[in-house]
Structure 1
Amino acid sequence: MSLLTDDVKNKVRPLLAELMHEVELKVYTGSSLVIPGQDQPGHQRETLAMLRDLAELSDKLTVTETPIAGDDEAKAAGITRAPTTVFRRKGETRTNLRFLGLPSGYEFTTLLEVIRMVGTDQAFDDQVGELSDPVLLQTFVTPTCPHCPRSVLTTYALALGNERIVAEGVEATEFPTLSQRYRIAGVPDTIIGGDPSKRVLGAQPLQQFVEAIRSAAAVAA
């Protein structure tokens, strides 16, 4: 049974028709083994089903499923939670555009927009400048938050302009242990570099994200 209604499919088709390049949606999955202190995998089946429904609407979309365990790319990218979807043009190896969990509710908008960002010739300038080390941006969201897509998409735009920026959207309710670790009390909330003392709370202008990244990078240096 499709997770997308006919009405949704009819609205999505024209958006996917804008794609100029093939887009790979690589979904990393994990086992259901319970590990103390770690979140169990989120909605893996639902995520795969939704993305495969989308792929049926456009020959420019490809969905692949890869187990995290034993995967060299996941290890190198620091991908440890499932499901994690990586967005990139087919043939690319970049792993710095990610979404953890099921992109439902308002985050379905995020899903469609990041596909468009990757699959068209839209230009993204480097807003941050040279970074000596990668900087991880984790934007915690919920499906019912209307302001969350703006924050996630801002971090995706920054990551498209600078491959040393790793942008993750994180569905907070699917990963409660991670949310508690960073003391997430409201969304959107973007954690910079895995440090709960460095965050951008709310849907802020792009420049505020840029300044937060530069500040965190300067401290790290």
Structure 2
Amino acid sequence: MLDANLKQQLSQYLGMLREPIELVATLGDDAKSAQTRELLEQIDALSDKVSAKFDGEDDRRPSFIIRRASDATVWVRFAGVPLGHEFTSLVLALLWAGGHPPKVEEETLQAIRDLEGDFDFEMYFSLSCHNCPDVVQALTLMALFNPRISATLIEGGAFQDEVEERGVMAVPAVFLNGESFANGKMSVEELLAKIDTNAGARAAAKIEGKDPFEVLVIGGGPAGASAAIYTARKGFRTGVAAERFGGQVLDTMGIENFISVPYTEGPKLAAALEAHVGEYDIDVMNLQKAERLIPATKPGGMHEVVFANGASLKARSLVLSTGARWRNLGVPGEFEYRNRGVAYCPHCDGPLFKGKRVAVIGGGNSGVEAAIDLANIVGHVTLIEFDSKLRADQVLQDKLRSMDNVDILVSAQTTEVTGDGERVDGLTYKNRETGEEHRVELEGVFVQIGLVPNTEWLKDSGIELTKFGEIVVDAHAATNLPGVFAAGDATTVPFKQIIIAMGEGSKAALSAFDYLIRNEATDEIAQAA
């Protein structure tokens, strides 16, 4: 089960346990149960602070709980074998149950302890999902720090019938007290915000008390992180307000074109960005969605950004780096069947469609890569491209065409996603050359048709936007408003790439530096500071 290298690493981690823990398993006669027994026996053998038992009475087999030997009310349950992307989650669960402190702000831990009420979480994950570990770890943390919270973390591939019965067609999928609660990647802070009704008010009050910044970066992706580091290095008081630090990078799997790093994955890069930002005196305010920009009335004056929770921040200069999100098809059925057959992440949700027929909409690199990945998992893939030819790199096209369970349709306009009321059962498309309508019967639709800039909040701000919603910037990353700069996928800069966003963020920061040294602060700001 665990190779020699993993055993050695796990042995070192288990040496950090401060108190004994128990692993209590409920097993059947199947292969997954045999794997679970082998895994738990290996963990047991690596530390005298771990004991494994096989007399559990859970309905799911295989499953096991991790609990403190001194307090049976504090536990977390895994159903299935948490390897792959979830091995780290398993290790953290062992450490936290054994008293090793998590690397989480004490304020967050106290918010978990202070939650009132009983919360029974069930969460479905797949072993190939790179978005799932954050949710698994967040729920694990909550269960181990509040005895009124329980968390059962279920590997969907091991419980396919249950997945089908509950209509889970996208992971991570979280249920609370038996009802659907959340889908998609979420941090512990985001989960807390959904169940703690006072969280927004506390966050707003905390923000309202802050002095004006010299540079305020809106957005925490590669562009925003780069901008913040550059302005902080110049000695300016810098803040970052982000709806989700890391941005869309968090939803990216393999990254192979980040120069000097042959391969990395989005969550790893996002963690590295956060760590680098943390090396400087930068005030990071996460989970803050910008809602309105009130520009300064004169050079050197104060810009104000209002957030969804009602709080606002002021700054002499701004760097707008709110990034972009996946573009929707905008056809009937897409919204109705989202997470019920309509998906946007093939890495996360592909395993839930094992052996089934799916479509991928989009013939660019993302679409063709998704089709290649899915063809190795599902029964059949139909790639649908609006243009008369695929736009992906030739090497990707050649790979796709070599696969015998793939059909490619070009000059095809998707017109509707259909379903039976519960889940997707097909789609219709129009042949753009003949005008004929066709139907494809399938069980999943993966949308991969590009990006939409996150700039709706700027429409009445005076910032110049293109008809596509991109922020218009010049060669210095400056917008049409003095003191307001922009960078990354939300702007008119071509080629939406991580490495380009980082460069543009640095450029915007240097331009903000130049602006600040050429424009003295107004009396209003000088007095406020």
Instruction: Pick the TM interval, shorter chain.
Output: 0.7 to 0.9
Q: Distance in 2 between matches of 1:97 and 1:67?
A: 13
2:183 partner amino acid: L
Gaps of 5+ in 1: 33-40, 69-78, 216-221
Shift of 1:161: 2.4
Q: In the alignment, which residue of structure 2 is the partner of 1:167?
A: 151
Cα deviation 1:164-207 (Å, max 9, x = unaligned): 111111000111122123321121111121113xx221221323
CA spacing shift, 1:162–1:126, aligned 2, 3 Å: farther
Q: In the alignment, which residue of structure 2 is the partner of 1:125?
A: 110
Deviates more, 1:175-184 or 1:161-170: 175-184
Q: In the alignment, which residue of structure 2 is the partner of 1:51?
A: 40
Shift of 1:113: 0.8
Shift of 1:96: 4.2
Shift of 1:121: 4.4
1:153-192 equivalences under 5 Å are: 153-192=137-176
8 Å contact kept, 2:27–2:33:
yes
Q: In the alignment, which residue of structure 2 is the partner of 1:136?
A: 120
Gaps of 5+ in 2: 103-108, 198-529
Q: Distance in 2 between matches of 1:210 and 1:114?
A: 19
8 Å contact kept, 1:126–1:162:
no
8 Å contact kept, 2:24–2:56:
no
Q: In the alignment, which residue of structure 1 is the partner of 2:20?
A: 22
Q: In the alignment, which residue of structure 1 is the partner of 2:242?
A: none
Q: In the alignment, which residue of structure 1 is the partner of 2:93?
A: 114
2:133 partner amino acid: P
Q: Distance in 1 between matches of 2:146 and 2:7?
A: 33
Give the aligned CA root-mean-square deviation in angstroms.
Answer: 2.1
Q: Distance in 2 between matches of 1:214 and 1:84?
A: 29
8 Å contact kept, 1:102–1:171:
yes
2:115 partner amino acid: G
8 Å contact kept, 1:152–1:168:
no
Q: In the alignment, which residue of structure 2 is the partner of 1:85?
A: 64
Percentage of matched positions with identical amino acids: 24
1:194 correspondence with 2:178: yes
1:191 partner amino acid: F
CA spacing shift, 1:57–1:17, aligned 2, 3 Å: same
1:206 partner amino acid: V
1:62 correspondence with 2:51: yes
Deviates more, 1:7-16 or 1:177-186: 177-186
Q: Distance in 2 between matches of 1:203 and 1:24?
A: 29
Q: In the alignment, which residue of structure 1 is the partner of 2:131?
A: 147
CA spacing shift, 1:161–1:126, aligned 2, 3 Å: farther
Q: Distance in 2 between matches of 1:122 and 1:194?
A: 30
TM, length-normalised to structure 2: 0.34
Deviates more, 1:114-123 or 1:145-154: 114-123
Cα deviation 1:124-158 (Å, max 9, x = unaligned): 43426211xx3211111111112212101101111
- Greater relative contact order (CA < 8 Å, ≥ 6 in sequence): 1
Q: Distance in 2 between matches of 1:47 and 1:10?
A: 19
8 Å contact kept, 2:125–2:173:
yes
Cα deviation 1:45-70 (Å, max 9, x = unaligned): 110101111111111111000152xx
Q: Quick check: which has more Rg, 1 or 2?
A: 2
1:204 partner amino acid: M
1:163 partner amino acid: P
8 Å contact kept, 2:122–2:174:
yes
Q: In the alignment, which residue of structure 2 is the partner of 1:8?
A: 6
Q: Distance in 1 between matches of 2:146 and 2:44?
A: 27
Q: In the alignment, which residue of structure 2 is the partner of 1:75?
A: none
Q: Distance in 2 between matches of 1:101 and 1:13?
A: 22
2:39 partner amino acid: M
Q: Distance in 1 between matches of 2:122 and 2:95?
A: 21
Count of residues paired in the alignment: 190
Secondary structure of 2:42's aligned partner: helix
